Amino acid sequence: MEKVPMTVRGEQKLLKELEVLLKRRPLISQAIAEARELGDLKENAEYHAAREEQGICEAQIRDIEYKLSVAQVIDVTTLANTGKVIFGTTIKLLDLDSDKEMTYCIVGDDEADIKQNLISVNSPIARGLIGKLVGDEVQITTPGGLKEFEIMDVQYI
């Protein structure tokens, strides 16, 4: 089984989600039991809704447990900052075409959220940055075309 990289933050987020779902389990079971008491199950909307909610909850639990089982949690704060871009680092870039500064953190696929500047390790920008050093200029082919960046700073936070 191939391990999937995940940050410590990503692992903590999944563990919190799992905890919430596991707390919902008994409540859903109780709702099913109460709906059963109402009589005929064929036409019992409360029963069918509770069963559907149970199915969704169990699927989410299995999904999170699987993700955690294949995760390789990488804590960059325990590594010496060599200025090299690796998984989990936060990178400050200068777009050489627009002179605009941007900051990204390279995370696992499930953690990626561009609105929070979290980019997937498999994204074109992350793939183009991995292994580079502070001060390097890189050309990356993005969906919007060829972009040139200078790596201004690499933080292991």
Q: Based on the fold, state whether residues 70 and 52 are members of the same structural domain.
A: yes
Read off the pLDDT band of 150 (50, 70, 90). Answer: very high
The boundaries of the domain holding residue 95 are 76-155
Q: Based on the fold, state whether residues 56 and 80 are members of the same structural domain.
A: no
Select from 125, 129, 99 the least CA-distant residue to 114: 125
Q: Based on the fold, state whether residues 10 and 53 are members of the same structural domain.
A: yes
Please tell me the predicted confidence (pLDDT) of residue 36.
82
- What count of other Cβ atoms lies within 10 Å of the Cβ of residue 111? 21
3-state secondary structure of 42: coil
Tokens describing residue 114: 């561009």
Read off the pLDDT band of 30 (50, 70, 90). Answer: very high
In whole angstroms, how far apart are CA 14 and each of 30, 54, 107, 109?
25, 19, 14, 13
pLDDT > 90? residue 42: no
Specify the CATH number for the domain of residue 13. Answer: 1.10.287.180
Q: Which residue has the higher pLDDT, 95 or 1?
A: 95
